[in-house]
A = this chain, B = another copy of it.
Amino acid sequence: MQGYTVPLSPRGVANLAPTPPWHYAGTVVAVEFFADPAAAAATLPEGLVLDPDTPGHGVALFIDWQYSSTGKEYLDPARAQYHEFFVTLDARWNDTPVAWCPYIYVDNDAAMARGWVQGFPKKLGSVHQTRAYPIGEPATPAVAAGGQFGATASASGRRIAEARVTLQQPVADPRALALRPVVNLRHFPRLAKERQDQPAVHELVLAVLDDLAVAEAWAGTGELSFPDAPGEELADLNIQRTGAGYRFHLAYTVTDLKTLIDYTA
């Protein structure tokens, strides 16, 4: 049997995801927000605490992704493209400022499988963001001061997030985007009756992103809401206020991951 994720198979081409490298290029619409700190803290796994400097601060990101491994997978865009919405919250791993991802949604099974392996707790969702074209106003915003971008996410036919960004100025230094290292919880349950409360995999991990690049970054103002929806807990974050909005291109490669704590050991 060959392959990396399920299904393992004779030729190893049916699997949802091959062994890395996993290369990504995406366009991001993002809005900063300040959640109720107690609600944000309640989402944290053992091992992380809220960042005391920015308690409740987080970012909502909507990304139109294209993926490839080593085979120009982008030439089959029905499989290689997907839309993603996720939230990160500022946290601390010991003294290190990190970003914790409690909730994330994609519209593609391969992206869901890769995400689970990385520790991203992906569910399916329907995600959209305004696109910019070099011609075509008024059917497109300009990537320029005043340009406006909307973004939405839905799960099971219910809207779970809505954002709007109005650009003000280019971001000269991408460090201003404050992209923290992401910490995830890899988790995979056992099903044997007497061990259902003892997951087979349960480890705090640090995402390793190679060749991280940002391009054409703009900052401005941001609006964001998480409408209440049964079966989801995003709205519990109880947004107190929003901060900056951003739009930029993002790229990186995944080939590795670092375990911080293995709770099953």
Q: How many residues of A contact B (CB 8 A)?
A: 109
Asked if A74 contacts B150 (CB within 8 A), the reply is yes
CB-defined contacts of A108 to chain B, threshold 8 Å? 124
Asked if A231 contacts B14 (CB within 8 A), the reply is yes
Chain A 136-179 interface 0/1 with B at a Cβ cutoff of 8 Å (1 = within): 11111100000011111110111100001000000000000000
Cβ of A225 < 8 Å from any Cβ of B?
A: no
Asked if A134 contacts B216 (CB within 8 A), the reply is yes
CB-defined contacts of A66 to chain B, threshold 8 Å? 130-131, 133, 136, 139-140
Q: State the majority secondary structure of interface residues on A.
A: mixed
- Give A141's nearest chain B residue, CB to CB: B74
Asked if B77 contacts A128 (CB within 8 A), the reply is yes
Copies in the complex: 4
Asked if A251 contacts B136 (CB within 8 A), the reply is yes
Cβ of A60 < 8 Å from any Cβ of B?
A: no
**Which A residues are closer than 8 A to B by beta carbons?**
1, 4-11, 13-14, 16, 19-20, 23-27, 39, 42-43, 45-46, 64, 66-68, 70, 72, 74-81, 102-104, 108-109, 112, 116-118, 121-124, 126, 128-131, 133-141, 148-154, 156-159, 164, 185-189, 191-193, 196-197, 200-201, 205, 213-216, 230-234, 236, 249-251, 254-259
